Amino acid sequence: MRSFLMVIWLTLPVLAGAYHFGPGQTGLKMDRAAESLAVAQAAMSAEDWSRALAAYEVALALVDAKESPRLSQSIRLGKAQAQMFSGQLPEAAADLETLVADLESDTKADAKTSAEALSSLANAKFYMTWLKRLEGLGESDWQPDVENARQSYRRLAEEAEKSGDMSAAKTYRENLEGTIRLARMDVSELQGIPIPKQCQGCKSGQCKSRGKKPNPNAKKDGRGAGLGPAPDGSGS
């Protein structure tokens, strides 16, 4: 009996070491990821976009996408939304396109995350269209973006209607209408509307010049007239 206990006692450090360098490390990483996510979410609430983006990047680096795919997808969405607010619209759109494709190929993807990712992508494409038009780019440059936004909002509205969420469907329909108006508006009309907060200081990624300054006598927010979506990815 004494020999048996001695063997157990001697093997405890080995077992502890194996745990520390194995499952224990995974647990530590997840704890750190959770801390970074808390920082990111608090920063988003405080509109500290740079801090939020940095925290999301840390969390994403700590999470194993294969072991925790749902969590990884959620973090990627949060990071892209932080990018949109940080003046990194082209980067956000590219990341969202990849995320949406990944979610669509994942049969176990979270439906809410999928819808929010598609909505965020539509919003990004909407604002990229806005900026490209202000920068004087031709229709061939911005048409693919506005068409992507139009199709995404239509799809989201139809899916919301099927699920019985008529409030969300109404919002997506309004965003769809705003996207159609954006494509049809004359550039002179667009120049008279203040650039949404999300896009101030941001470029479309295809022109080094900024868009013209808005008319100070114009309406405070073009979205108030139903021109387009809110910048937070909610679709509203």
CA atoms of 231 and 233, how far apart (whole Å): 6
Task: Give 67's DSSP letter.
Answer: T
Q: Residue 47 is encoded by which pair of tokens?
A: 């509109």
Q: Residue 231 is encoded by which pair of tokens?
A: 């910048």
Q: Residue 85 is encoded by which pair of tokens?
A: 């607010």
Long-range Cβ pairs for the range 49-55 (8 Å, 24+)? 49/82, 49/85, 49/86, 50/86, 52/78, 52/82, 52/85, 53/79, 53/82, 53/83, 53/86, 53/88
Closest residue by Cα to residue 91 from 185, 202, 212:
202
pLDDT interval class at 192 (50, 70, 90): confident
Range of lowest pLDDT (14-23, 171-180, 226-235): 14-23
Amino acid 26: pLDDT? 64
pLDDT digits (tens, 9 = 90+) for 127-144: 999 999 999 999 999 999
pTM over cut 0.85: no
Amino acid 194: pLDDT? 78
CB 157 within 8 A of CB 169: yes
pLDDT digits (tens, 9 = 90+) for 54-84: 999 999 999 999 999 999 999 999 999 999 9
Amino acid 121: pLDDT? 97
Range of lowest pLDDT (63-67, 94-98, 116-120): 63-67
The answer on pLDDT for 93 being more than 60 is: yes
Q: What is the residue-wise DSSP string for 127-148? A: HHHHHHHHTT--HHHHHHHHHH
Query: b/e map of 197-207 (b: 16 or more CB within 10 Å)?
Result: ebbeebbbeee
Residue ranges per domain, the chain? 92-236
How far is the CA of 218 from the CAs of 189, 191, 196, 214, 222, in angstroms? 10, 9, 13, 8, 9
